[in-house]
Amino acid sequence: MNDQSLKQFVALVEETPVLGAVYDGTDHLRYANAAFRSTFAVAADEMPFWDEIMRRNLRSGVGTVIKSADFESWLISTKSRRGKLPYRAFEMDLQDGRWFLMTETVNADGWMLCIATDITPLKTGRRELRQARDFALRASQTDELTGISSRRAMMGALEMLNEAVTEGRVAAGCLCILDLDLFKNVNDTFGHQIGDQVLVEFARLTQTATRRRDHFGRIGGEEFMLIFPDTSLEEATRVVERVLHIVRQARPIPVAPAFSCTCSAGIAAAIPGQTTGSLYARADLALYRAKHAGRDRLELAV
């Protein structure tokens, strides 16, 4: 593309009513056209993070309609789906009454192109059916308590990772299983309601320490899973060590400010040709070793 063609392309992108934006791998806005900036109240000279845009829009009553009384829970749930697939399409209601079809395209480096097209003229009946379908799909992929991905969604993502490594579409990938240490003591001491709060806070803290492309979900009780696509064992280890540190420093029970908890983790690197079950079993065995080596630690699978 020569300079003249590039100028024409940029001019068209700026003039189109279609919303367009580019985020980097940390969800930092790097480019947005005029339609996007106007819709989400982003000034031409600023490049905020996505969650900052959502917080500002909520306060100002503009942008995306958030159908939840708990914004932080909505944020956690939305982040569990955002940018996790090479391509995703979904519908989005705006505060000004418009209805958009949003697409996300993510490259190998984690950069994401977002394109949104106004589909408000579609028939209301079809819209309600599509929204009901989308709600049911999200519910099946979301853990009801924490708002992060469900076991079903995580096992599907694990299968995708294993296939990608086996077929050579990515050079590496890792699985980590995490388990809160001595969690039964939390329920026995403070009750199950406080125990649930600890699980929710653990999910929130862990999500802040991970990258947007990492998959994070709850697979049962106090056990969680992290999937690292196209990631070396060394990179995955750094992320998990960061998680362990953040959890160790946290004080998740307001009524007991001195209380702290820890978690143990096991990581396995995906091996071409192995089964998904074998990958899971290797990470689970590494977690078992971490528990029996004193807890609050990370062990690597052999």
Burial 167-177 (b: 16+ CB within 10 A, else e): eeebebbbbbb
The alpha carbon dihedral of 92, 94, 100, 106 has a sign of negative
Tallying the residues shown for the chain, one arrives at: 302
Q: Which helix (H) or strand (E) holds 190?
A: helix 183-190
Is 222 designated active site?
yes
Q: Which residue among 46, 128, 163, 222 is the active-site one?
A: 222
Sheet with 29-32, edge to edge strand ranges: 29-32, 19-23, 112-118, 99-106, 87-93
Enumerate the active-site residues. 222
